[in-house]
């Protein structure tokens, strides 16, 4: 079997769920996924994607299974094949205040609500995982491992991951000594060493234990705490436009 035939069959498999739902009368089916639950720095980013019924993205897959370069290549393809894309972003400060679960659900709600504002209120929302989004005013269903099984969720996983990665590259320019452009805020050995050496910066999640430990050490050394109140995600995502069909929190 040729690679082209294999990827085409793979995409057809990803579309099976949505095609069945369309046969049942649903028009606007939104897939929702997030990026950034696990890192100890940076925002949580969620995306909601409504794909066109005739969308064709042969290499589409769960963003975690794709190399960074391929994710970047697929990102404009997803935008071109989508009727609408919504984005929700919740900062490290929000995570510290409300907790990672509420930050994730809040970002997801914002992403889905953005679709309504763009004229594509979803008739059904497909959420990656096994938990529905609380207080969402649209019908929804969960899909365990949906990012590797359902096209619109896989598309959302790519959008969320690419946008978050670009944001972390932008933060690298603001805080170059931490290496955010390389590890994207995840708890790597390099990140831990930089955190221990420098203490937390404004985009570190103070409620996460490695950051708490580093912050406690710097408190003992009488290092002034950083005020996060004025910290916002960059208004531009590493200098790259997201497309006219993309909404942002």
Strands 124-128 and 82-90: unpaired
pLDDT, position 89: 95
The rounded distance, in Å, linking the Cα atoms of 129 and 178 is 31
Between the CA of residue 189 and those of 54, 72, 155, 216, what are the distances in Å?
Answer: 44, 26, 30, 19
pLDDT, position 209: 75
pLDDT digits (tens, 9 = 90+) for 120-174: 999 999 999 999 999 999 999 999 999 999 999 999 999 999 999 999 999 999 9
Q: Identify the structural domains of the chain with CATH numbers, from first to last.
A: 3-170+233-247 (3.30.420.10), 176-220 (no CATH)
The rounded distance, in Å, linking the Cα atoms of 136 and 112 is 8
pTM of the model: 0.85
pLDDT digits (tens, 9 = 90+) for 3-16: 565 567 889 999 99
pLDDT above 90 for 210: no
The rounded distance, in Å, linking the Cα atoms of 153 and 143 is 9
pLDDT digits (tens, 9 = 90+) for 48-86: 999 999 999 999 999 999 999 999 999 999 999 999 999
pLDDT, position 191: 95
CB 100 within 8 A of CB 93: no
Average pLDDT over residues 96-125: 95
Q: Collapsing DSSP states into helix, strand and coil, what is residue 39?
A: coil
pLDDT digits (tens, 9 = 90+) for 227-242: 333 333 344 444 455 5
Per-residue confidence band for 219, with pLDDT thresholds at 50, 70 and 90: very low
pLDDT above 90 for 218: no
pLDDT, position 116: 92
Q: Which segment, 11-15, 208-212, 217-221, 224-228, is predicted with the most confidence on average?
A: 11-15
């Amino acid at each position: 079997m040729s690679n082209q035939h294999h990827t085409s069959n793979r995409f057809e498999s990803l579309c099976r769920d949505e095609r069945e739902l369309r046969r049942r009368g649903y028009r606007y089916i939104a897939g929702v996924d997030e990026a950034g639950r696990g890192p100890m720095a940076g925002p949580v980013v969620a995306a909601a994607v409504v794909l066109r019924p005739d969308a064709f993205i042969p290499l589409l897959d769960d963003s975690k299974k794709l190399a960074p370069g391929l994710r970047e290549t697929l990102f404009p393809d997803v935008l071109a094949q989508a009727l609408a894309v919504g984005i929700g972003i919740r900062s490290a400060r929000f995570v510290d205040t409300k907790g990672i679960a509420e930050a994730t659900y809040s970002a997801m709600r914002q992403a889905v609500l953005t679709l309504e504002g763009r004229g594509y209120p979803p008739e059904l929302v497909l959420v990656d995982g096994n938990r529905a989004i609380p207080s969402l005013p649209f019908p929804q269903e969960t899909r365990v491992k949906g990012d590797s099984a359902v096209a619109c969720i896989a598309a959302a996983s790519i959008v969320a991951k690419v946008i978050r990665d670009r944001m972390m590259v932008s933060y690298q320019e603001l805080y170059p000594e931490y290496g955010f452009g390389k590890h994207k805020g995840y708890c790597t050995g390099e990140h831990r060493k930089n955190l221990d050496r420098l203490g937390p910066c404004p985009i570190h999640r103070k409620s996460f234990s490695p950051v708490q430990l580093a912050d406690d050490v710097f408190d003992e050394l009488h290092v002034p705490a950083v005020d996060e109140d004025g910290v916002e995600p960059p208004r531009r995502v590493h200098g790259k436009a997201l497309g006219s069909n993309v909404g942002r929190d």
